[in-house]
Amino acid sequence: MKNFISVDPGTRTTGWAIFKEKNLFLFGKISSNKGNWLENTNHIVRCLDSIYNEHFTFGLKVLYLEFPEYWAGEQGWAARESGSIQKLSFLCGRIYERFLEYMKVQLITPSKWKGQLPKEVVQKRLKTIFSSIEKEEDHNVLDAIGVGYYCGVKGDKD
């Protein structure tokens, strides 16, 4: 797909990127601290809907959505015990359901798009590929760009 949006969801900060003709066009983040995760989720979905409505004339055909996966070890155990994976999965479901009416929604896990590479290595590579993100520090935004690059640009054979 030539024009698409990619999203790295988070219940407090969600990164997004729009690619036009397979080139990074626009990116940003949605921050939400509305008091509870359900209100944050609603806010994030509304903001993504606004972003889509503002840029739908580009003919956005696909949404690449990072979907959580369970990690082994202490971090995975802590995420499971805190309920953060369930909350993130709920947010992904809300985004999926909302955008399915407009476009194809493709779920992608972190290990599928970046393999076993450490986050810092992936971010450094992305900053080399896209000079416009050289100063970007938010990992959610960088992951959204990475999801779009690896799925929609590099992975698309159109």
pLDDT digits (tens, 9 = 90+) for 139-148: 999 999 999 9
Helices 139-148/119-129 angle, 10° precision: 70
Question: Residue 158 corresponds to which tokens in the numbers above?
Answer: 């159109």
Q: Tens digit of pLDDT for each residue in 47-65?
A: 999 999 998 777 888 999 9
Distance of alpha carbon 20 from its chain centroid, rounded?
A: 16
Q: Taking the domain 4-153, which CATH number applies?
A: 3.30.420.10
Over range 100-123, report the average pLDDT. Answer: 91
Query: By three-state DSSP, how is residue 90 classified?
Result: helix
pLDDT at 155: 78
Cβ neighbours of residue 14 closer than 8 Å, sequence gap 6 or more: 7, 8, 29, 30, 32, 44, 47, 48, 91, 140, 144
Over range 39-48, report the average pLDDT. Answer: 94
pLDDT at 156: 59
pLDDT at 81: 66
Query: Lowest-confidence range among 76-80, 94-98, 101-105?
Result: 76-80
- pLDDT bin (cut points 50, 70, 90) of residue 75 is low
DSSP label at residue 80 = H
pLDDT at 78: 61
pLDDT at 137: 92
- Per domain, the residue ranges of the chain are 4-153
∠ CA 133-137-139, nearest 5°, is 100
pLDDT at 76: 58
- Going by C-alpha positions, the residue among 136, 157, 109 that lies closest to residue 24 is 136
pLDDT at 158: 45
Instruction: With a cut of 60, say whether residue 1 has pLDDT above it.
Output: no
Radius of gyration of the chain (CA): 15
In whole numbers, what is the pLDDT of the chain averaged over residues?
Answer: 88
In angstroms, the CA 9 to CA 51 distance is 14
Q: What's the full length of the chain, in residues?
A: 158
Question: Residue 96 corresponds to which tokens in the numbers above?
Answer: 């999926």
Check if the beta carbon of residue 9 is closer than 8 Å to that of residue 29.
no
- pLDDT bin (cut points 50, 70, 90) of residue 113 is very high
